């Protein structure tokens, strides 16, 4: 292997307060569940570490890649609004950082590879179900264009894990721009009362927002890392949640420890895409109060950013009043940033040249109609797309979606509005409104089969969801909304 192909350990190098050396615990009988060759190629991953027996053993925790330095990271976080001072990688082990040929650095992490110093009595393991869910969902999200962690591999361990019942165990190989969270900043700011915070903030700002830092410091030599970080994370998370809202994605556990500072979606636990539209939709079995309901996500992300801001105050300015003013200004940008990005996404979805004031009422009434008539979110938007592009007959959409009379009435107003739009906006609709999304009932079925040792559906779905904006043969099944008896109403954390 050439010297350019090796792990780096920049986060680990900050010290053992950040990453504690932790070895994976060997398992009985590793078996492949999935290997993501496309991602391996994109990463410039070595051939020798590809889909072979030695890699399988290594990704199961029974071996080690040359040059890896396994470790687990400390963090804290607000869980459902309450501060937990000590969380951390309880079932995740960072093998090292991998530099893609274009220079971008990625964490390579095993999730479910055994206990760590942060396991807090947990077994450090994961059942097959949540591993398959995260693999499928994160890869589908990537193909939909949403910033997200990714899945390089999934392996079954051959060992059972004990949850409500005995379940087969598995390990996911996760790839992220980094796994540093709002909760990581909280750990150093709150649990450790500021010790080590400055080093963390400098590190993460340089790793993710180096260009913004240079620009800010060129304009104002006094600009702090903390100030730049807060500004950039506000921007990145506004972008992320706007994207989720535009696709009907519900994360399910938007605790501050599940929000990455790099702006990628992380931790596919009880997440789900909506089938029929409902603003108050909740799937997670543990979200009894609906804190993380679909319509609440932007507000929750804003709240999480205010937690980050609070932690960064001592680094923004020694003068507390000045620090508060600067941080407040930064976080106060969120509603406008979110609204602007979300409006642009909606304009693309509705085939509008731009969002005008009068369009808000039109859009509101569309969503009310979907909710009232219990219409499928994804198919309704694709119906608009095929209508606008005059492409209905070339697709099977009419066999999958029947507009209600209310929606047909609404269509008249929309068509009138669109008479004032340019034709280019039709084209945009095709890449703003997917044909397929990773629907819950398919994920559930793939999990059931993988638990029984059959990966075929997992492979089929993964391959279909790689191209979500175009019609394919077989979409009678994959684009269709679930039948009543197929609908999934509850999702579980699977920890």
Nearer to Mg ion, 258 or 276 (CB): 258
Instruction: Report the nearest approach of ligand AMP to the CB of residue 88 (Å).
Output: 5
Can you tell me the distance from the alpha carbon of 437 to that of 195, in angstroms, rounded to the nearest whole number? 44
292, two tokens: 């993380």
Q: Give the residue closest to Mg ion by C-beta.
A: 267
Within the chain, how many helices (H) and strands (E) appear?
16, 12
Instruction: Report the nearest approach of ligand AMP to the CB of residue 285 (Å).
Output: 12
Element of type H or E holding 294: none
Residue 170 C-alpha from the chain's centroid: 20
Q: CB under 5 to 8 A by kind: which of Mg ion, ligand AMP, none does 93 bind?
A: none
Can you tell me the distance from the alpha carbon of 132 to that of 61, in angstroms, rounded to the nearest whole number? 18
Q: DSSP H helical segments within 290-376, as ranges?
A: 297-316, 320-350, 359-373
From the number of C-beta atoms within 10 Å of its C-beta (0-12, 13-18, 19+), residue 72 rates as: buried
Three-state SS at 96: strand
Q: CB under 5 to 8 A by kind: which of Mg ion, ligand AMP, none does 269 bind?
A: ligand AMP
Cβ pair 157, 114 in contact under 8 A: no
Three-state SS at 275: coil
Instruction: Report the nearest approach of ligand AMP to the CB of residue 446 (Å).
Output: 20
Which 45-104 positions form the footprint of Mg ion (CB under 5 A)? none
Cβ-Cβ contacts under 8 Å for 423 (sequence gap 6 or more): none
Instruction: Report the nearest approach of ligand AMP to the CB of residue 98 (Å).
Output: 22
Can you tell me the distance from the alpha carbon of 427 to that of 444, in angstroms, rounded to the nearest whole number? 33
User: How is 235-270 classified by DSSP, letter by letter?
Assistant: HHHHHHHHHHHHHTEE-S---GGG-BTT--B---SS
Among 258, 281, 296, 297, binds Mg ion (CB under 5 A): 258
Q: How many CB atoms neighbour CB 159 within 10 A? A: 18
Can you tell me the distance from the alpha carbon of 414 to that of 187, in angstroms, rounded to the nearest whole number? 49
Nearer to ligand AMP, 75 or 410 (CB): 75
Residues that bind ligand AMP (CB under 6 A): 87-91, 119, 122-125, 253, 258, 267, 269, 493, 495
Nearer to ligand AMP, 293 or 387 (CB): 293
Q: CB under 5 to 8 A by kind: which of Mg ion, ligand AMP, none does 263 bind?
A: none
Instruction: Report the nearest approach of ligand AMP to the CB of residue 253 (Å).
Output: 6
Cβ pair 366, 384 in contact under 8 A: no
The single residue of 159, 257, 275, 317 carrying the catalytic annotation is 257
Nearer to ligand AMP, 119 or 368 (CB): 119
- N residues, the chain: 495
Nearer to Mg ion, 303 or 367 (CB): 303
Q: CB under 5 to 8 A by kind: which of Mg ion, ligand AMP, none does 123 bind?
A: ligand AMP
Instruction: Report the nearest approach of ligand AMP to the CB of residue 185 (Å).
Output: 15
User: Taking CB under 5 A as the rule, does residue 267 contact Mg ion?
Assistant: yes
Instruction: Report the nearest approach of ligand AMP to the CB of residue 255 (Å).
Output: 7
Nearer to ligand AMP, 200 or 347 (CB): 200
Q: CB under 5 to 8 A by kind: which of ligand AMP, Mg ion, none does 179 bind?
A: none
440, two tokens: 């819950």
Choose the binding region for Mg ion from 39-47, 50-58, 261-269, 411-419 (rule: CB under 5 A).
261-269
Q: Has 123 been annotated as catalytic?
A: no
User: Taking CB under 5 A as the rule, does residue 264 contact Mg ion?
Assistant: no
Nearer to ligand AMP, 267 or 275 (CB): 267
Cβ pair 491, 283 in contact under 8 A: yes
**Contacts to Mg ion by CB under 5 A:** 258, 267
Active site residues: 257
């Amino acid at each position: 292997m050439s010297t350019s192909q090796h792990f780096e350990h920049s986060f680990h190098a900050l010290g053992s307060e950040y990453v504690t050396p932790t070895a994976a615990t060997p398992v009985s009988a590793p078996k492949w569940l999935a290997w993501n060759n496309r991602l391996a190629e994109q990463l410039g991953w070595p051939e020798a570490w590809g889909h072979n027996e030695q890699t399988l053993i290594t990704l199961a925790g029974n071996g080690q890649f040359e040059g890896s330095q396994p470790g687990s990271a400390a963090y804290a976080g607000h869980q459902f609004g309450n501060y937990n001072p000590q969380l951390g990688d309880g079932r995740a082990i960072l093998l090292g950082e991998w530099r893609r040929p274009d220079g971008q650095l990625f964490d390579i992490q095993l999730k479910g590879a055994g206990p760590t110093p942060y396991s807090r009595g947990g077994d450090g393991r994961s059942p097959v179900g949540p591993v398959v869910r995260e693999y499928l969902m994160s890869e589908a999200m990537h193909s939909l264009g949403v910033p997200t962690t990714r899945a390089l591999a999934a392996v079954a361990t051959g060992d059972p894990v004990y949850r409500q019942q005995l379940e087969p165990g598995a390990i996911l190989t996760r790839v992220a721009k980094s796994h540093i969270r709002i909760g990581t900043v909280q750990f150093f700011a709150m649990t450790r009362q500021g010790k080590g915070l400055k080093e963390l903030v400098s590190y993460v700002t340089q790793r993710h927002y180096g260009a913004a830092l240079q620009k800010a410091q060129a304009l104002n030599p006094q600009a702090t890392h903390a100030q730049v970080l807060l500004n950039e994370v506000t921007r990145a998370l506004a972008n992320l949640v706007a994207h989720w809202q535009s696709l009907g994605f519900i994360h399910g556990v938007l605790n501050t420890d599940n929000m990455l500072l790099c702006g990628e979606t992380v931790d596919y636990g009880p997440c789900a895409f909506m089938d029929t539209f409902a603003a108050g939709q909740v799937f997670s079995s543990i979200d009894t109060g609906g804190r993380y309901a679909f319509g609440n996500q932007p507000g929750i992300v804003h709240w999480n950013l205010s937690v980050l801001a609070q932690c960064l105050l001592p680094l923004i300015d020694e003068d507390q009043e000045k620090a508060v003013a600067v941080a407040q200004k930064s976080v106060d940008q969120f509603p406008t940033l979110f609204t602007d990005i979300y409006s642009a996404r909606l304009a693309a979805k509705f085939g509008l040249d731009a969002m005008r004031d009068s369009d808000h009422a039109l859009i509101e009434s569309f969503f009310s109609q979907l909710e009232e008539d219990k219409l499928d979110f994804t198919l309704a938007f694709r119906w608009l797309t095929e209508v606008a592009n005059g492409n209905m007959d070339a697709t099977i959409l009419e066999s999958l979606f029947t507009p209600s009379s209310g929606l047909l009435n609404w269509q008249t107003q929309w068509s009138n509005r669109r008479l004032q739009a340019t034709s280019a906006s039709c084209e945009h609709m095709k890449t703003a409104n997917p044909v397929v999304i990773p629907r819950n009932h398919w994920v559930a079925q793939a999990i059931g089969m993988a638990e029984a040792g059959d990966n075929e559906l997992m492979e089929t779905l993964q391959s279909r969801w790689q191209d979500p904006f175009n019609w394919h043969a077989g979409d009678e099944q994959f684009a269709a909304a679930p039948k009543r008896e197929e609908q999934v109403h509850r999702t579980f954390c699977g920890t």
